[in-house]
């Protein structure tokens, strides 16, 4: 089925669409001075698994939401088994089938070719969900695309498919491109209510060491970690002004 609400926009040029791209921002409700909290979200785009991070989470009983692609799932059976063995810790959510930006047009986003059409966006979202159901045995509720930026029409389509769009408020590692010390400092400096984004699929980069160290620093500061599925009340997830914070109340 084609989605008529977005098809007319396929006539736009990539450069025109670039001016309309949205980057959703997401926060959770603050836990307060006695029990500050953050939501740790980790992207598993493709490649392998950074066990420095995964082992830290398991050993310290730290919950996290893991956004996985079908490509990553197909290459990381051992890590998937760990996620499945700890449903009390890990929420597995949709990062797409092939790791493609949910953007109309043909202009690359951070060097990645976008989906381009409504049909391709739909295939990317649903392909990721089917892979999660097959490999992890759960049905995803959240979607985050390859670059965390979207065409407005793609956001409408993703919501139409039944997903919430996972923004963030703190970028911990800039796509696993930052050195460990910088990553650790950024994550350790999180504020009550932040949604942190980082990556768990680059074991050969120093950034993963910083992710693990930053997590432990937050734990030492007395922070509680929550998963997105533990959040019960949501505000606007990007329909009106995507650069405004999404406030949520947690259980």
CATH superfamily of 16-250: Glycoside hydrolase/deacetylase (3.20.20.370)
Q: Mean pLDDT in the chain?
A: 87
Please state, in angstroms and rounded to a whole number, the distance separating the CA atoms of residues 3 and 90: 33
Task: Output the pLDDT for position 19.
Answer: 54
| 8-state DSSP, 236 | -
- Please count the residues of the chain: 251
Can you list the residues of the chain whose pLDDT is less than 50? 1-18, 232-251
* Alpha-carbon gap, residue 63 to 195, rounded angstroms: 13
DSSP 8-state secondary structure symbol assigned to residue 116? B
Name residues whose C-beta falls within 8 Å of residue 11's C-beta, 6 or more positions apart in sequence.
Answer: none
CA distances from 221 to 34, 96, 158, 170, 217 (A): 11, 34, 36, 17, 6
Structure-block tokens of residue 22 = 């949205």
If you search the block for the tokens 């089917």, which residue do you land on? 130
Helices in 137-242 by DSSP H: which ranges? 152-160, 180-188, 207-220
Q: Helices (H), strands (E): how many in the chain? A: 8, 10
Going from N- to C-terminal start, the domains of the chain cover 16-250
Predicted local confidence at residue 15, as pLDDT? 37
- pLDDT for the residue 194: 94
36 in Cβ contact with 192 (< 8 Å): yes
Q: What are the structure tokens assigned to 132, written together?
A: 């999660």
Please measure the distance between the N-terminal and C-terminal CA atoms of the chain and give it in whole angstroms. 37
- Residue 233 has what pLDDT? 32
| C-alpha span between 251 and 232 (Å, rounded) | 6
């Amino acid at each position: 089925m084609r989605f008529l609400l977005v098809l007319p926009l396929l006539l736009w040029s990539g450069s025109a669409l670039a001016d309309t791209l949205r980057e959703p921002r997401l926060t959770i409700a603050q836990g307060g001075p006695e029990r500050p909290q953050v939501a740790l979200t980790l992207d598993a785009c493709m490649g392998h698994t950074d066990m420095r991070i995964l082992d830290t989470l398991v050993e310290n009983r730290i919950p996290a939401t893991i956004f996985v692609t079908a490509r990553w799932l197909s290459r990381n059976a051992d890590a998937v088994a760990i996620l499945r063995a700890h449903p009390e810790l890990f929420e597995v959510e949709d990062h797409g089938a092939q790791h493609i930006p949910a953007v109309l047009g043909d202009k690359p986003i951070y060097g990645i070719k976008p989906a381009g059409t409504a049909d391709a966006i739909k295939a990317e979202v649903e392909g990721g969900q089917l892979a999660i159901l097959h490999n992890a045995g759960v049905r995803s509720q959240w979607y985050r695309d390859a670059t965390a930026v979207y065409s407005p029409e793609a956001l409408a389509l993703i919501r139409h498919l039944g997903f919430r769009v996972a923004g963030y408020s703190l970028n911990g590692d800039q796509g696993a491109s930052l050195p460990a010390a910088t990553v650790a400092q950024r994550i350790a400096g999180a504020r009550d209510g932040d949604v942190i984004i980082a990556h768990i699929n680059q074991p050969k980069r120093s950034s993963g060491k910083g992710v693990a160290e930053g997590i432990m620093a937050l734990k030492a500061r007395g922070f509680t970690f929550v998963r997105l599925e533990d959040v019960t009340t949501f505000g606007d997830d990007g329909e009106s002004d995507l650069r405004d914070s999404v406030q949520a109340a947690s259980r």
